[in-house]
Amino acid sequence: MTHQIVNTHISEVTVYTNQALVTRRGTVSLTGEEQELIITDLPLTIQTDSIRVRGEGILGVRTETVFANEAFGEKVGQLSRQIRSLEQQRRTIQDQLDAAQLQRNFVQSLSEKSLEGFSGLLAPAQMNLDEVKELVNFLGEQYGEYANAIALRERQVRELDRQLEIFRQQFKQLQLSTCKESYTSYNVIVAIAPPSPGEFHLELSYLVTRAGWTPLYDLRTSSNGDRINLTYLAEIKQKTGENWQGVKLTLSTTKPALNILPPKLEPWYISGQKNNQASRQGKLGCKDDFAELEALLAEDNNGSKKQDLPQLQKVLTKGTKSEGAVTFRLAGNNDIFGDGVAHKVIVLSENYPCKIEYVALPRSSAFAYLEATVKNKSNGINLLPGKANIFRDRTLVGTTDIENVAPGQDFKLNLGVDEDLQIERDLLEREVELIGNYRRTTYGYKLVITNLRDRKTTLRLIEQLPVSRDEQIKVRLLSTNPEIHLGAMGQLEWVLTLPRQSKRQRKMEVYYQFSIEHPAEISVVSMDI
């Protein structure tokens, strides 16, 4: 059979979360007599059932494993032959063991029937002792013979199992050897109809494992700005056994499906319960039955939901959108080497409008925190969950996690502590009164906020009152200055405009007072004020 080797190069790669789709292209000059085309030296990370070939006159495709090192190939073949031989021996001996056990059981059953026959005789004188002795000796000899044969076969089976385990472990270690890639590769053989002489264009695609990508972000802002720069990065790692050089790169979060057939439905069985069993369970039994059936239905619904794929709703530079996912096509040609080292590529870098505010929680910290509310563009891309480095005024202030953010959706970023806003919290009053059988304790706090910044600043100041979980304990807000209302879960929140730093006026004071009342015989616990 005439064949010819086709030299191909990697032209496109689509990287998924834990695998990649590689596309190779090549051109070969045919004489018109070729029946097979061979693509050599493909990596072992290929999923062989994912191989697809495009070209004129394609009849079929198959793969073969090639051992570049003859000693390695001989070792694999020798182990395979030894394992097959031992497995055949074990099947033969197991059949002999089963036959011997059947014969021994028959002799044992015959012995029991004979004993019943002798015991049923009315008169011992009617028994022929010679015949009885002869029968007993025969049964004993046969039983002993079969018992010995069974013991021998069981020892042989155990020994074969031991040898098989040794060879299988050797074969497994050989398959998992770290140097396997340097010894073996795949060849793809493409059967073609006898073509006419000329140029033949071939396209080969396949899935490989040991590749994937994750989203990362760099967020840059200033303390005085109203916009934030978001750099969307993709961290790509691959150790597929190939280098991707000068390829068109696409990123995707979908999962390629290899099956071309819909899943096969299995019968869904249900069963009933006898009425006498249900009556012992009482009326709740019916509810339990319905609950179990509804749980099965819910399981089916959840099962279908679990198959939903994470979505990306816009392309990077250019792309296509389908119902389940969107692909991101990166501009230009990219180099991703198969060394397992993380390679970062920029997906996009854009400015986003944001609202920056300062938030202070004096019970926890003496400084204010800078918080930004960022709005994703309505025609923007879906921000996938990932780590983000936060830079403020060109300084790395920390990292945060970005959750899934859809286009048009707001999300918050914590930009760290700003030491130019300082808060002092002092307990000014603690007065205890006994009113009849009740004890009332009054607390008064003063908060002093100092603005050391050179511009006017808005601060959201949050304090917290105790929340009673006992109806006999009452917490009451008595006064605030500036005046506000008590919020949910005992929260007090002021929005303050702080003047810029000056010698005469750079501080602002906030007061609040509350009381806790309870019966005198009750002790209040878990208070931290």
Q: What average pLDDT does the segment 138-165 reach?
A: 88
Indicate if the pLDDT at residue 302 is higher than 60: no
Cα–Cα distance for residue pair 297/56, rounded to 1 Å:
49
Say what angle helices 129-175 and 70-119 make with each other, to 10 degrees.
160
CA distance 217 to 388: 4
Q: Which helix (H) or strand (E) holds 413?
A: strand 410-435
Give the closest residue to 417 by CA, choosing from 366, 356, 353. 366
Single-letter amino acid code for the residue at 14: T
Mean pLDDT for 89-93 is 92
Q: Which of 522, 523, 519, 524 lies closest to 437, judged by CA?
A: 519
pLDDT tens track for 280-295: 544 444 444 444 444 4
Q: What is the pLDDT of residues 452-501, one digit of tens each?
A: 888 888 899 999 999 998 889 999 999 999 999 999 998 999 999 888 77
**pLDDT confidence tier of residue 306, bands split at 50, 70 and 90:** very low
| Section 100-115 average pLDDT | 81
∠ Cα 127 129 133 (to 5°): 130
- What whole-number percentage of the chain has pLDDT above 90? 40
Confidence of residue 10 (pLDDT cuts 50, 70, 90): very high
What is the distance between the alpha carbons of residues 241 and 10, in angstroms, rounded to a whole number? 13
Q: What is the mean pLDDT of residues 124-148?
A: 74
DSSP letter at 326?
A: B
Whole-structure pTM value: 0.60
Q: What is the mean pLDDT of residues 314-342?
A: 70
